[in-house]
Amino acid sequence: MKTYLVTGGAGFIGSNFVHYVLSHHDDVKVVNVDSLTYAGNLENLAAVSEDERYVFVHADICDRSRMRSLVDEFDPDYVVNFAAESHVDRSIENPSVFADTNVLGTISLLDAVRDAWMGADGPGERKYLQVSTDEVYGTLSLDEPDTFFREDTPLSPHSPYSASKASADLFVQAYADTYGLPINITRCSNNYGPYQFPEKLIPLMIHNAQSHEALPVYGDGLNVRDWLYVEDHCKAIDLVLRKGRVGEVYNVGGHNERSNMYIVERIIAELAERLDDPAICTSLIRHVEDRKGHDRRYGIAPDKIKEELGWEPETAFEDGIARTISWYLDNQEWVEHVTSGTYQQYFEHMYGNRKVLS
């Protein structure tokens, strides 16, 4: 039996990973450690809450003594760190929170596994995996569509969020070089799919369009992202844990580059047709003042993970967005819960005072 200690497992990607592991392996135990901030939601894991292979622990990765005790108690084969503040807009508002969780929290977790694993017997087959982002590489030009981020692309983060993730990556690599800690780092493109908190583009547009509310689009909306269906990402992480070469970085991309405007218009068209609602239309779009330091394009070359591990994305964007919209339409109670109360205050704070361009 393999034991996974998953931090941030009640968040969007983390909860999908917990579901993936439990549904694809019988001989596993999954320990989910989450501090349950606004984006951590145990409703994401209701379907597995009674599974005897699953354990939830309410704890913060910044709590050093707790992390060490959990590593000692559960003796995990794999530690997978999803725990992070991840929304760029929030990082612009409050960078220090991102430094605390994404950098100091990662160091806390690294110290816990180093102290537990690097004794006389060594780590054996254990492994620590840091889940990172393509944003650590900076930005690409729209005028050079054949250029992509590769594992040896220099780190050049532009937002407080991406700077905190790049710093965490460097600490992970430093612990490998200094202490011999067995690690991997995965850097993914933009994820989408079930359980994503509606501060991010796709669930935000689905939610607002259904309610006939304004659809805020930063700037001209031509910023391009490489979109990766979350289940494809989860499969990649599990493959890297079990078969990836120790110490390596693997880029995980979807080969699904789309502009923000394309995404918004696709969601409008899909929802209008499904709900037979002509009020869901492009007139809801509001171009608003752009985000500070807004990267123009991200694009990942996942050649390494394909060549070494045989992974490639299985979900074309057009299929993935249809599945995602279906999930949100079928899970209105979940949506209502996460968009109540403070979420409305957050939305007004982030978009209410932005200059409308068109």
188-244 pLDDT per residue, tens: 999 999 999 888 899 999 999 999 999 999 999 999 999 999 999 999 999 999 999
**Whether residue 333 lies in the annotated active site:** no
Residue 59 in contact with residue 104, Cβ under 8 Å?
no
Mean pLDDT of 106-114: 98
Q: What is the pLDDT of residue 346?
A: 43
**Whether residue 319 lies in the annotated active site:** no
Over the stretch 268-319, which tens digit does the pLDDT of each residue have?
A: 999 999 999 999 999 999 999 887 888 899 999 999 999 999 999 999 999 9
**Whether residue 135 lies in the annotated active site:** yes
Q: Annotated catalytic residue: which of 134, 169, 199, 226? A: 134
Cα–Cα nearest to 217, from 102, 354, 100: 354
Q: What is the pLDDT of residue 188?
A: 97
- Domains along the chain with CATH numbers: 2-195+227-255+297-317 (3.40.50.720)
Indicate whether 341 pLDDT > 70.
Answer: no
Q: What is the pLDDT of residue 351?
A: 47
Cα–Cα nearest to 260, from 142, 340, 137, 351: 142
What percent of the chain is predicted at pLDDT more than 90?
84
Q: Annotated catalytic residue: which of 54, 137, 161, 192? A: 161
The model's pTM is: 0.93
Mean pLDDT of 100-128: 94
Mean pLDDT of 233-262: 96
- Provide the mean pLDDT of the chain: 93
Q: Residue 229: CB partners within 8 Å, gap ≥ 6?
A: 191, 192, 193, 254, 313, 314, 315, 317, 320, 323, 324
Q: What is the pLDDT of residue 347?
A: 43
Mean pLDDT of 111-122: 91
205, amino acid identity: M
Q: What is the pLDDT of residue 343?
A: 44
Q: Annotated catalytic residue: which of 34, 85, 135, 238? A: 135
